Structure 1
């Protein structure tokens, strides 16, 4: 999710931005909840191992690394956009990557830095947006996990993401499909019935179909090379990869 804060001190002042101030305010309220696996961010903690393994495995295939190695991402630069308090940044740092986590919410970045310091991990956290970053910076892997459904301009956002990729790099994204099933499960079910997420966390009309996402990526000279649905089993109480992309899904994209 793109975690952002509604404060003039934290919102970039550039005209060209995809940051939505309302989204910043919404998610900054959760900044102190990030690292509590039983709190309001519990659903994210539950899905995080699957996200981690999907990204790690894709990176190891692309860069020909041994997925079983404890430092399989050594030497790779990773940009995690909308990093929140670092739930992805910390494990990838432990796998040897040089991680830069960016988020427009000052409270999220403060929570991320505090937790990393306590864990004695060196992570470059920045309270900024991808639009505000130096275009000359390049990364082997760019992550936008649960972000595109919260930005104000998907095309502009992905254009900046593509510009940050090194030649031969990969971008990994996760988001939600837009159909009746995603409305029933991700909005009504998750926010109103099960109360996994605060009401208003998502706006259904901002969800992207896989075809729409593929077109946005193609417009920025990126092509999807891998994709998978993400489904929840209430009986096993766990998330898993699936061919069913009707609700949650993840993709890997590379330069055409």
Structure 2
């Protein structure tokens, strides 16, 4: 492990993106607030992460804490919506976020929930400079908000320990995603505050995969997430046109 650098490494965070989420930080745990979409599809995200981790590490989900002994980093953790259920499954969880207010809110909520989670106001570049690695790295709905996608994904890959797993999620840069995730979600359904997303920063699956490969990872697979407005439910699908998740691993 290398010693922490005395100089602050270059950051992938965009100041305007940090400010945007800071303004909404107090509402992370409100299921009907600005982060309602995260609450509605969180069960599907959690199931996908869990299943990929079971495959990679051969854990038994019948155990009370099936992932005990494994470390997990959630990059762009927000208020801790993924960190807390991952901690309950036994992971030693660290959550980082470029917005300090998010990590403070997440820490308070974790303490109230009786969970031991480490939260830091940091970017992945800081942890890379410290020589940190984790068995599982999550970057869920973050890559579309960073300054340099390739540099960010390289940092994410560097943080995955040998034999470890990365799971990511984002929005595809398609006209269908523009219509549904940008216009539909922000202006028609008003699920998200206007300006939450910049369609030009959405990331194609090929771009996401290429960035992870440069970071030393092998792609395991991708899956789409599709919303049924009549049932009000999300499901996993082969349709990658709007929301999708990706799993990758580092050779042991």
Q: TM-score range by the shorter chain?
A: over 0.9
**In structure 2, which of residues 92, 95, 109 is the aligned counterpart of residue 101 of structure 1?**
95
CA deviation digits over 1:103-152, x for unaligned, max 9? 11111111101101111111000011111124421100000000100000
**In structure 2, which of residues 72, 86, 89 is the aligned counterpart of residue 92 of structure 1?**
86
Structure 1: distance between partners of 2:89 and 2:249 = 22
User: Is the contact made by 1:135 and 1:164 (CA closer than 8 Å) also made in structure 2?
Assistant: no
Partner residue, 1:212: 207
Say whether 1:174 aligns with 2:166: no
Structure 2: distance between partners of 1:67 and 1:117 = 25
RMSD (CA atoms): 1.3
Structure 2: distance between partners of 1:69 and 1:92 = 14
User: Is the contact made by 1:57 and 1:67 (CA closer than 8 Å) also made in structure 2?
Assistant: no
**In structure 2, which of residues 96, 104, 128 is the aligned counterpart of residue 110 of structure 1?**
104
CA deviation digits over 1:203-222, x for unaligned, max 9? 11111111111111222222
Structure 1: stretches of 5+ with no match in the other structure? 1-12
User: Is the contact made by 1:149 and 1:176 (CA closer than 8 Å) also made in structure 2?
Assistant: yes
Partner residue, 2:3: none
Structure 2: stretches of 5+ with no match in the other structure? 1-6
Deviation at 1:15, TM superposition (A): 5.7
**In structure 2, which of residues 221, 240, 245 is the aligned counterpart of residue 245 of structure 1?**
240
Say whether 1:75 aligns with 2:61: no
Alignment of 1:19-58 (within 5 A): 19-58=13-52
Deviation at 1:226, TM superposition (A): 1.7
Query: 4+ residue stretches of structure 1 with deviation over 2 A?
Result: 67-70
Could you tell me the TM-score, scaled by structure 1's length?
0.92
Structure 2: distance between partners of 1:22 and 1:36 = 23
**In structure 2, which of residues 144, 147, 152 is the aligned counterpart of residue 149 of structure 1?**
144
Stretch moving more, 68-77 or 222-231? 68-77
User: Is the contact made by 2:155 and 2:215 (CA closer than 8 Å) also made in structure 1?
Assistant: no
CA deviation digits over 1:76-129, x for unaligned, max 9? 100000000100000110111100000111111111011011111110000111
Partner residue, 2:118: 124
Partner residue, 1:165: 160
Q: How has the CA–CA distance of structure 1 residues 15 and 57 changed in structure 2, closer, same or farther, with 3 Å as cutoff?
A: closer
